[in-house]
Amino acid sequence: MSLLLALAACGGDVNALGIVASSPGSIGVGEQRVLVAVEDIQTRESLAAPDAAVIATLRDRIGTPLGEYEGQFVWMVPDVRGLYKFDMEIPGPGTFQITLEGDAIGEPPPVGLIAVEDPTVMLPGDQAPLSETRTTQTHEIAEITTDPDPEPSFYEMTVAEAVESGPSVLVFATPAWCTTQTCGPLLDQVKRLSAAFPALTYVHVEIYENIDAASFEDLVTVPAVVEWGLPSEPWVFVTDQDGVVTAAFQGVALDSELEEAFAAVSP
């Protein structure tokens, strides 16, 4: 599964290229978390950096400005590659443009963005699916995770049991088979932050059933991926006491974003 969505193409600064990193079908209406990467158009090296400020303008399909947003830099792979997160107000379903501007990137060509009325993925306000996932009650931990340093408590409950037990954090990621290189870092980030929120239940769900497959072509997706409507990997979901999704993070997240989401449902 791919994190990166291809983008638009002409006009603007030819030295930089914008890429919408939010998966197709995952952007809805209202306040939405939109991820955008910026690359050198020749070398494809990332131009995103912690000290490189970027402003995004959301526009309709003919270019009329709808809102301006300051980007927050987020590491995809710590100290290696990052992108920008924008909290944008999407007025309705349809096709939009995003124009970027910053000292380090100039003015790249417009980036295409499609918003849908009803995203396939579970988003805040949705009732969490009660997925039956594998646990160490019935499997050896090495059979159900490719995390090289797994936290045993993340495999004691199914998603259904966790959601029904109270506030939970669910991580869908596959460190060994990740196509985005962000599965391991995001899972490690949740493990690190979990110590400060011990009252929450944490579950890691591998994306694939047969993690010992010989090739990508042989991989079989776990049912929970379909039930949660995941168009990509990794994802982190936070659910409350009533089993309602209160936060969803695709691909990458700031510590502050996760901490705020965890704190909001902690008893």
pLDDT in tens, 79-109: 999 999 999 999 999 999 999 999 888 888 9
Whole-angstrom CA distances from 199 to 6, 44, 94, 135 are: 40, 43, 40, 20
Q: Given this model, what pLDDT does residue 14 score?
A: 54
pLDDT in tens, 8-49: 334 444 589 999 999 989 999 999 999 999 999 889 899 999
Q: What are the chain's domains? A: 16-115 (2.60.40.1930), 141-265 (3.40.30.10)
List, for the chain, all residue ranges whose pLDDT scores fall below the cut of 50: 1-13
**pTM of the model as a whole:** 0.92
Q: Given this model, what pLDDT does residue 180 score?
A: 86
The C-alpha atoms of residue 78 and residue 53 are separated, in whole angstroms, by 18
Q: Given this model, what pLDDT does residue 133 score?
A: 98
**CB of 132 within 8 A of CB of 159?**
yes
